């Protein structure tokens, strides 16, 4: 029988080494190089890890050439059309969708009840200055959560892992809302368990200190269910995405045996960067900078100028060499909401669509396979939901939380060794 191996030949010595190929259910196989150094005294070199699989995973799958993203084997479009974000959280952390409506509702209700914060944690926000970026507040607050749940270090059971994940998913919207309100000097509004997980988040952002959402001559303002549905879908579309920079950070940090909340806090910092989740904030700033649809060609020319570091934010991806399926879903959601009465900023929408149209026909983008990514259109919807730009990346954090928690559980259970890459030394 033909062996499933790859042979590495050292052309200077003639030595040959066989390495096993690791089987997978979808996508490219991997060469098992875990003993490469031991056997050859040579490292593999792959800065940015473009060709390196750091773990085995069953959580999400991306086929970057064919615009496919699966959560636990199910295409994201099917999930967001039929299931809520809390159902998708269950799918990611448990491996299965809720079996029935009751299970789905019970889980969502549990999240509502776990959304409160220890009062001591609230004092931490008070120490941050007005105007601080909510991502900075958020990563510190999530790190601090580990001081309130010390028990976790001793827990080593499915029940313990799931409690860790549920707490984190439940509390993150409250942390985001509090960090935002703190950053603008507004008093905090506590969770309202009569409201759904997603509605409660909008409530905590928008409510006046007396708990009302505002008054008009017709009476009290309420949250539009269409807004809740839109935000639910945005969270769902961000729920997991393979071994991206922030997830890899979470796994690396958790591999040291640290408290999972400390690892997630590190993931939040990794996500903040403009090359990663921070791009959604930059996209909106860029649309404002472009200012008018007539300026689009000028900005596309800047992208192509080798002497100009300008990049089109919300474009390009390490894995997608075709249209990001999340961007496609977010673009249709934007159009659908606009038709249903949640009005998008017409100028931003027009500039973004023209940018996409021009870019997709341009040789520079075609050659490099650069398409809009998840961050390109999400900010336009979030603006229509009256969410401030500084909260775009924290919104991404809420969406990604079930993914990070599932990755933490998978990593711990796999018994993986501490992450410890090598280097090619070039110094004195
Ligand atoms: N605008 C213009 N050119 C780009 C862009 C872009 N947005 N993205 C990549 N390129 C070009 C690069 O200049 C490079 O060209 P070259 O071969 O002539 O040097 C080529 O495409 C390959 O780019 P890399 O930077 O090597 O690709 P990499 O996979 O390392 O980076 C990344 C991916 C960081 C997402 C990149 O496309 C980028 O900076 N995009 C803009 C920021 C962004 O939208 N980030 C969000 C990504 S999605 C997420 O993380 C949630």
Determine the topology of domain 57-417 in CATH: Citrate Synthase; domain 1 (1.10.580)
Contacts of 278 (CB under 8 A, 6+ apart): 135, 271, 272, 393
User: With contact defined as beta carbons under 8 Å apart, do 247 and 266 qualify?
Assistant: no
Query: What is the pLDDT of the chain when averaged over all its residues?
Result: 95
Probe residue for ligand 1, chosen from 249, 316, 393 as the CB with the greatest number of ligand atoms within 8 Å: 316
Question: Is the pLDDT assigned to residue 129 strictly greater than 90?
Answer: no
Alpha helices by DSSP H, 218-345: 225-237, 245-254, 260-272, 279-290, 296-304, 325-340
User: What's the pLDDT at 403?
Assistant: 98
Q: Where in the chain is the domain with CATH 1.10.580.10?
A: 57-417
Give the residue, by CA position, lying nearest to ligand 1 atom 36.
Answer: 316
Report the separation in Å between the CA atom of 314 and the middle of ligand 1, taken as the mean of its atom positions: 9
User: What's the pLDDT at 183?
Assistant: 82
Mean pLDDT of 54-58: 97
Q: Which two tokens stand for residue 355?
A: 């940018």
Mean pLDDT of 306-327: 96
Whether ligand 1 lies within 6 angstroms of the CB of 311 is answered as: yes
Question: Is the pLDDT assigned to residue 189 strictly greater than 60?
Answer: yes
Report the separation in Å between the CA atom of 318 and the middle of ligand 1, taken as the mean of its atom positions: 7
> What angle is formed at CA 198 by the lines to CA 213 and CA 209, rounded to 5 degrees?
30
Question: Is the pLDDT assigned to residue 153 strictly greater than 80?
Answer: no
User: With contact defined as beta carbons under 8 Å apart, do 25 and 72 qualify?
Assistant: no
Q: Where in the chain is the domain with CATH 2.20.28.60?
A: 5-53
Whether ligand 1 lies within 6 angstroms of the CB of 277 is answered as: yes
Contacts of 206 (CB under 8 A, 6+ apart): 213, 214, 223, 386
Element (H, E) at 164: helix 158-183
Q: Mind listing the pLDDT tens digit for each residue in 164-188? A: 999 999 999 999 999 899 888 899 9
Give the residue, by CA position, lying nearest to ligand 1 atom 50.
Answer: 276
Give the residue, by CA position, lying nearest to ligand 1 atom 37.
Answer: 316
Question: Is the pLDDT assigned to residue 1 strictly greater than 60?
Answer: no
Whole-prediction pTM value? 0.97
> What angle is formed at CA 206 by the lines to CA 205 and CA 211, rounded to 5 degrees?
105
User: What's the pLDDT at 174?
Assistant: 98
User: What's the pLDDT at 126?
Assistant: 86
Mean pLDDT of 57-83: 98
Question: What is the pLDDT confidence band of residue 362, given thresholds at 50, 70 and 90?
Answer: very high
What percent of the chain clears pLDDT 90, i.e. is strictly above it?
92
What percent of the chain clears pLDDT 70, i.e. is strictly above it?
99
Whether ligand 1 lies within 6 angstroms of the CB of 314 is answered as: yes
Question: Is the pLDDT assigned to residue 379 strictly greater than 60?
Answer: yes
Whether ligand 1 lies within 6 angstroms of the CB of 241 is answered as: no
Q: CA dist 285 to 85, 95, 331, 352, 392, Å?
A: 28, 38, 18, 12, 12
Report the separation in Å between the CA atom of 348 and the middle of ligand 1, taken as the mean of its atom positions: 22
Whether ligand 1 lies within 6 angstroms of the CB of 39 is answered as: no
Architecture of domain 5-53: Single Sheet (2.20)
User: What's the pLDDT at 370?
Assistant: 97
Give the chain's largest Cα–Cα span: 86
Give the residue, by CA position, lying nearest to ligand 1 atom 3.
Answer: 311
Mean pLDDT of 294-305: 94
């Amino acid at each position: 029988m033909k062996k499933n191996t790859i042979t590495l030949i050292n052309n200077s010595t003639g030595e040959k080494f066989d390495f096993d190929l690791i089987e997978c259910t979808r996508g490219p196989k991997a060469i098992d190089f875990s003993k490469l150094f031991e056997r050859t005294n040579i490292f593999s070199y792959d800065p940015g890890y473009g060709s390196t699989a750091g773990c085995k995973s069953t959580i999400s799958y991306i086929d970057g050439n064919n615009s496919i993203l699966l959560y636990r084997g199910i295409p994201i479009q099917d999930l967001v059309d039929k299931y809520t974000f809390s159902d998708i959280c269950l799918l990611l952390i448990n491996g299965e969708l809720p079996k029935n409506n009751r299970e789905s509702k019970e889980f969502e209700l549990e999240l509502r009840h776990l959304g409160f914060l220890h009062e001591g944690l609230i004092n931490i926000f008070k120490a941050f200055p007005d105007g601080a970026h909510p991502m900075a507040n958020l990563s510190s607050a999530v790190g601090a959560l580990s001081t309130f749940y010390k028990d976790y270090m001793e827990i080593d059971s499915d029940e313990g892992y799931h409690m860790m994940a549920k707490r984190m998913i439940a509390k993150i919207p409250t942390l985001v809302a509090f960090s935002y309100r703190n950053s603008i000097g507004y008093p905090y509004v506590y969770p309202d368990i009569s409201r759904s997980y997603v509605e409660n988040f909008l409530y905590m952002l928008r409510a006046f200190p007396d708990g009302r959402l505002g008054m008009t001559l017709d009476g009290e303002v309420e949250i539009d269910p269409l807004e809740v549905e839109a935000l639910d879908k945005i969270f769902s579309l961000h729920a997991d995405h393979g071994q991206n920079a922030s997830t890899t950070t979470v796994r690396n940090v958790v591999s040291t045996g640290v408290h999972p909340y400390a690892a997630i806090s590190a993931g939040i910092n990794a996500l903040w960067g403009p090359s990663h989740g921070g791009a959604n904030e930059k996209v909106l700033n860029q649309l404002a900078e472009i200012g008018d649809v007539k300026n689009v060609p000028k900005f596309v020319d800047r992208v192509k100028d080798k002497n100009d570091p300008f990049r089109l934010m919300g474009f390009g991806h390490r894995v997608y060499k075709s249209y990001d399926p999340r961007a496609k879903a977010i673009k249709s959601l934007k159009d659908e909401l606009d038709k249903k009465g949640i009005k998008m900023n017409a100028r931003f929408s027009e500039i973004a669509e023209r940018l996409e149209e021009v870019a997709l026909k341009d040789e520079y983008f075609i050659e490099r396979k650069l398409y809009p990514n998840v961050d390109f259109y999400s900010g336009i919807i979030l603006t229509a939901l009256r969410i401030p730009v500084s909260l775009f990346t924290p919104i991404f954090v809420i969406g990604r939380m079930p993914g990070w928690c599932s990755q933490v559980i998978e990593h711990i259970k796999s018994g993986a060794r501490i992450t410890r890459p090598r280097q090619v030394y070039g110094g004195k």
